[in-house]
Amino acid sequence: MGNRLSKIYTRTGDDGSTGLGDGSRVAKDSLRVAAYGTVDELNSTIGMVLAADGVDDAVREVLTQVQHDLFDLGGELCIPGMTMIEDSDIDRLEQVLDSFNEPLPPLKDFILPGGGMAASCCHLARTVCRRAEREVIALARVEEVRPQAQRYLNRLSDLLFVLCRVLARASGHGEVLWQHERRRKPKTS
């Protein structure tokens, strides 16, 4: 690990720039900073899921591993040319996703965010994950980004959706289904 921070503020970012992991400086609103910043935000929202009551050990173990992966992904995005996320990480997400999804009933309706605190936090994490994916795609249009970053986030958002369903059911609140019929108006002659 590089230099440890003993002093939290450095004043070097007061001009609107920040240092990347390779020592170069970029604007704080650059696409690269936005991408790894949103990955950091995603990691924080997963921390909220883990802090909620009623998260069973299997979900907790998976999400803790995901937090480590996201820290790695943030490092990969912060250090141009760095390789951290591998195809095996994506394969692992797919296997976990399949194991959690298999016992769930098939979806017949869209699900609204809700279903208890843990599920709601997981829905928030899912939406932040989708934003992180969009920002990585935007970055990849102008700079080199390995495809594993985008694929990992795409698969993670799918996993988070399935975990929302698992957590809503485990909480006893159940899934909140979108009531699309509520907009249908009776036909009048």
pTM: 0.88
User: 43 lies in a domain?
Assistant: yes
The answer, yes or no, to whether residue 138 has pLDDT greater than 80, is yes
Count how many domains the chain has.
1
Residue 186: predicted pLDDT: 66
Q: Which domain holds residue 144?
A: 27-173
81: left (phi over 0), alpha (psi -120 to 50) or beta: left
pLDDT in tens, 88-104: 999 999 999 999 999 99
pLDDT band at 1 (very low <50, low <70, confident <90, very high): very low
CATH number of the structural domain spanning residue 50: 1.20.1200.10
